Amino acid sequence: MARIIVITSGKGGVGKTTTSAALAMGLAQRGKRTVVIDFDVGLRNLDLIMGCERRVVYDFINVINQEANLNQALIRDKRCDHLYVLPASQTRDKDALTKEGVGRVLEELAQSYDFIVCDSPAGIEHGATMAMYYADDAIVVTNPEVSSVRDSDRMLGILSSRSRRAENSDEPVREFLLLTRYNAERVEIGEMLSVEDVQEILSLNLLGVIPESKAVLNASNSGIPVILDRESDAGQAYGDVVSRYLGEEVPHRFIHTEKKGFLSRIFRG
């Protein structure tokens, strides 16, 4: 049976879709059969970041409404045979996501995949609660700023009380913290919260720190998950995230500023 992972946050623009694409690609590259689903009905950005927007014929809502089957709607990634994308609809309302319909689709996918990655909309709107309801694991994505962290704390309350696991008194959803757009230099001068500050507020297992990087925007514009950019700090950081999620012991990087050598200091780095 598949493990269902929801990528969630309290506010928009923190990097959920980037994270969903990177995590799904990283898992698939490890040989895990993986499908990533866009729950953001009406906006639909995942297919752009995955570079498959021109191949969308049927979508998640078509499958829920039984207007198409999964084989018709799933898009296989051209770069990795183990990865599939289930896009959202741009023309339907979010209320088209029903608990029964979503559950039926996830149950069918669980028969064939190792991991199901759910790219959730921000906040507590209907699409977000549907994405969270069936989760086994939740990766809470936040930026190192007070408003983003505070909103993420609210999401943790919903995860612990409104998930299927909570309703059935099963083991709780496993929760992880992913800190994005982190700039160690700005942390040092007090313009951003530190990793320790965020962990003190949220008390979550730190899955990774993604440094602020132009590579993320460049990858998104090119329709390529940033994890494939092995030369970039962000790509390497997402690779570490996948390793940690799979249980490997990997030290955290990109948390502290780089110590400059004697010559670098003379010539101002």
The per-residue pLDDT for range 104-149, each reduced to its tens digit, is: 999 999 999 999 999 998 887 888 899 999 999 999 999 999 999 9
**Going by C-beta distance under 8 Å and a sequence separation of 6 or more, which residues neighbour residue 120?**
6, 7, 8, 9, 16, 39, 40, 127, 128, 131, 132
> Is the model's pLDDT at 261 over the cut of 60?
no
Confidence of residue 17 (pLDDT cuts 50, 70, 90): very high
> Is the model's pLDDT at 44 over the cut of 60?
yes
Q: Residue 100: its pLDDT value, please? A: 95
Rounded CA-CA distance 53/117 in Å is: 18
Q: Residue 71: its pLDDT value, please? A: 96
Q: Residue 257: its pLDDT value, please? A: 83
Largest interatomic CA distance in the chain: 67
Domain, as residue range, for 238: 3-246
Mean pLDDT of 184-198: 94
User: Annotated binding residue at 17?
Assistant: yes
Q: Report how far Cα 211 is from the mean position of its chain's Cα atoms.
A: 15
189 part of a folded domain: yes
| Range in 11-15, 167-171, 219-223 the model is least confident about | 11-15
User: Annotated binding residue at 123?
Assistant: no
Q: Residue 174: its pLDDT value, please? A: 96
> Is the model's pLDDT at 200 over the cut of 80?
yes
Q: Is 36 exposed, middle or buried (0-12, 13-18, 19+ CB in 10 A)?
A: buried
CB 25 within 8 A of CB 77: yes
138 part of a folded domain: yes
- pLDDT, one tens digit per residue, over 51-63 is 999 999 999 999 9
Query: Dihedral sign, CA of 130, 131, 136, 142?
Result: negative
Rounded CA-CA distance 111/227 in Å is: 27
Query: Dihedral sign, CA of 229, 230, 234, 240?
Result: positive
User: Annotated binding residue at 214?
Assistant: no
Rounded CA-CA distance 202/196 in Å is: 10
Q: Tell if the pTM clears 0.75, that is, is over it.
A: yes
29 part of a folded domain: yes
User: Annotated binding residue at 11?
Assistant: yes
Number of independent structural domains in the chain: 1
Query: Dihedral sign, CA of 9, 15, 16, 19?
Result: negative
Name 84's bridge partners: 35, 76
120 part of a folded domain: yes
Q: Residue 217: its pLDDT value, please? A: 95
**Is residue 64 within a helix (H) or strand (E), and if so which, with residue range?**
helix 60-64
What is the token pair recorded at 140? 């809470």
Confidence of residue 266 (pLDDT cuts 50, 70, 90): low
- pLDDT, one tens digit per residue, over 143-167 is 999 999 988 888 888 888 889 999 9
Which of 90-99, 146-155, 253-262 is modeled with the greatest confidence? 146-155
> Is the model's pLDDT at 170 over the cut of 80?
yes
Mean pLDDT of 252-265: 72
User: Annotated binding residue at 101?
Assistant: no
> Is the model's pLDDT at 185 over the cut of 90?
yes
CB 20 within 8 A of CB 117: yes
Mean pLDDT of 5-20: 93
What is the token pair recorded at 114? 């190792």
254 part of a folded domain: no
207 part of a folded domain: yes
52 part of a folded domain: yes
How far is CA 3 from each of CA 69, 83, 138, 266, rounded to the nearest angstrom?
21, 15, 11, 52
CATH code of residue 44:
3.40.50.300
Q: Report how far Cα 176 is from the mean position of its chain's Cα atoms.
A: 11
What does residue 252 show for φ and ψ, rounded to 5 degrees? Answer: -75, 140
Rounded CA-CA distance 218/81 in Å is: 24
Give the residue, 263 or 146, on which the prediction is more confident: 146
Mean pLDDT of all residues in the chain? 92
181 part of a folded domain: yes
